Amino acid sequence: MQTASAFNSVQAALSYFINAYRQLAEWRAVIARLEGFNLAVEKGWSAVRAEPAIQVRPQDQEWVKLDDLLVCLPQKQAACCRA
């Protein structure tokens, strides 16, 4: 009887790690998502504070002139279009 009780005690103690692993993994996933969200917010704020890449100056002409325009995709690849 004492042996069975001791075995159950050891099994219960070691089962804690198996049962807690799921909760720890879920907690880690939440932390990773929050970290990604925080980085995205910081990136957004830095974009708001940055100097504008395009400066608009009013002129009397009714046309638009673009010099050295490079259009990039979100993955930083240059977009190529042929007319």
| pTM (global) more than 0.85 | no
Contact 79, 71 (CB under 8 A): yes
Q: What is the residue type of 67?
A: D
pLDDT (0 to 100) of residue 79: 59
In a domain, 79, yes or no: no
In a domain, 64, yes or no: no
Query: What is the distance in angstroms between the CA of the first residue and the CA of the last residue of the chain?
Result: 87
Task: Determine the 3-state secondary structure of 77 from DSSP.
Answer: coil
**pLDDT of 28-60, one tens digit each?**
999 999 999 999 999 999 888 888 777 777 777
Which of residues 14 and 25 earns the better pLDDT score?
A: 25
Q: How many domains does the chain have?
A: 1
- Is residue 81 over pLDDT 70? no
Whole-number Å distance between alpha carbons of 30 and 67 = 46
In a domain, 83, yes or no: no
Nearest to 34 by CA among 23, 46, 42: 42
In a domain, 72, yes or no: no
